[in-house]
């Protein structure tokens, strides 16, 4: 999982909240967590408006699985399942979690909770917030916001730039590894199999090596040590349970 949301690339952004009273673009130093959260919130609202929801049984399964999981890092969580053939899930810095139906079809409950735990790890570790901030700062959007001095003129011009930067902003191996650790513990804390995280990673790894087309699988396979990540989680589960499930 590299946790990129393809839907972000088609987004029109509203920068009104990023302009100060004088209409000047917010600088790196001045970009507050609240503003980044607002960017996330608007991203999700945009995606929600554009993406069909999966049937009720998907929402119910997810709601049941996440029952009792109310917040991460002080951020209230909200969950939705999108109808999509793309195996993907995404957690935003504001605590919004969006899961695609194809991912839910692929994973059993244990694996699914581990994957979501992994995503929540990026929120807890503030990776999601940093990625959004980087996307904003690295794009030409800052200058454009300044030049345009407003919001309306920006849609469809440089707005694709920042969203593309966000989509392409991959988390580091260290961040992914830390998110795996979070997902591992998250599954256990919620009463699931200690092997949940490794099983989900193994499944994704298999999917990507099987040549199946999905953004997640492709991105997952682009990490040279994706198999190592799965193995590390299996070793961790073996250590915890006292078993030896590693056969080769
Ligand atoms: Zn990740």
**DSSP symbols for 190-212:** TT--TTHHHHHHHHHHHHHHTT-
Quote the CA–CA distance of 68 and 157 in Å, as a whole number.
42
Q: What is the total count of domains within the chain? A: 1
Quote the CA–CA distance of 124 and 136 in Å, as a whole number.
20
Residue 148 is assigned to a structural domain of this protein: yes
**pLDDT band for position 149 (cuts 50, 70, 90):** very low
Q: Which comes out higher in pLDDT, residue 86 or 194?
A: 194
111 catalytic? Reply is: no
Question: How far is ligand 1, taken at its centre, from the CA of residue 41, in Å?
Answer: 20
- At 201 the pLDDT is 92
- Structural element, H or E, at residue 18: none
Residue 51 is assigned to a structural domain of this protein: yes
Question: How far is ligand 1, taken at its centre, from the CA of residue 156, in Å?
Answer: 28
Question: Among 33-47, 74-88, 141-155, 220-234, which is the least confidently predicted range?
Answer: 141-155
Question: How far is ligand 1, taken at its centre, from the CA of residue 161, in Å?
Answer: 22
Question: How far is ligand 1, taken at its centre, from the CA of residue 25, in Å?
Answer: 30
Residue 247 is assigned to a structural domain of this protein: no
Q: Which residue range forms the structural domain that includes residue 36?
A: 6-241
Catalytic residue among 111, 119, 176, 181: 119
Q: What is the mean pLDDT of the chain?
A: 78
Q: What is the pLDDT of residues 102-115, one digit of tens each?
A: 999 999 999 999 99
Q: Which comes out higher in pLDDT, residue 26 or 134?
A: 134
Residue 187 is assigned to a structural domain of this protein: yes
Residue 237 is assigned to a structural domain of this protein: yes
Residue 160, SS3 per DSSP: helix
Q: Which comes out higher in pLDDT, residue 214 or 190?
A: 190
Instruction: Tell me the CA distances in angstroms from 127 to 2, 59, 79, 187, one per residue in order.
Output: 11, 26, 19, 20
Quote the CA–CA distance of 120 and 126 in Å, as a whole number.
10
Question: How far is ligand 1, taken at its centre, from the CA of residue 171, in Å?
Answer: 7
Residue 182 is assigned to a structural domain of this protein: yes
Quote the CA–CA distance of 88 and 103 in Å, as a whole number.
6
Residue 225 is assigned to a structural domain of this protein: yes
Residue 33 is assigned to a structural domain of this protein: yes
Say whether pTM exceeds 0.85. Answer: no
């Amino acid at each position: 999982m590299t946790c990129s949301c393809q839907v972000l690339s088609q987004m029109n952004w509203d920068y009104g909240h990023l302009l100060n009273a004088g209409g000047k673009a917010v600088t790196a130093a001045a970009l507050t967590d609240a503003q980044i959260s607002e960017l996330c919130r608007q991203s999700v609202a945009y995606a929600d408006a554009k993406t069909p929801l999966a049937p009720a049984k998907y929402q119910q399964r997810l709601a049941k699985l996440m029952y009792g999981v109310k917040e991460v890092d002080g951020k209230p969580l909200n969950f939705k399942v999108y109808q999509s053939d793309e195996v993907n899930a995404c957690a935003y810095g504001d605590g919004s979690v969006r899961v695609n139906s194809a991912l839910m079809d692929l994973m059993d409950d244990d694996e699914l909770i581990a994957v979501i735990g992994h995503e929540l790890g990026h929120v807890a570790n503030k990776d999601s917030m940093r990625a959004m901030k980087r996307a904003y700062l690295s794009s030409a959007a800052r200058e454009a916001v300044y030049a345009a001095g407003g919001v309306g003129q920006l849609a469809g011009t440089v707005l694709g730039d920042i969203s593309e930067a966000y989509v392409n902003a991959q988390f580091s191996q260290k961040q992914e590894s830390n998110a795996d650790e979070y997902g591992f513990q998250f599954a256990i804390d919620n009463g699931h199999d200690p092997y949940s995280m490794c099983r989900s990673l193994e499944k994704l790894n298999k999917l990507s090596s099987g040549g199946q087309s999905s953004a997640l699988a492709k991105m997952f396979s682009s990490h040279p040590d994706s198999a190592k990540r799965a193995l590390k989680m299996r070793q961790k589960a073996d250590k915890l349970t006292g078993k030896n499930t590693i056969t080769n």
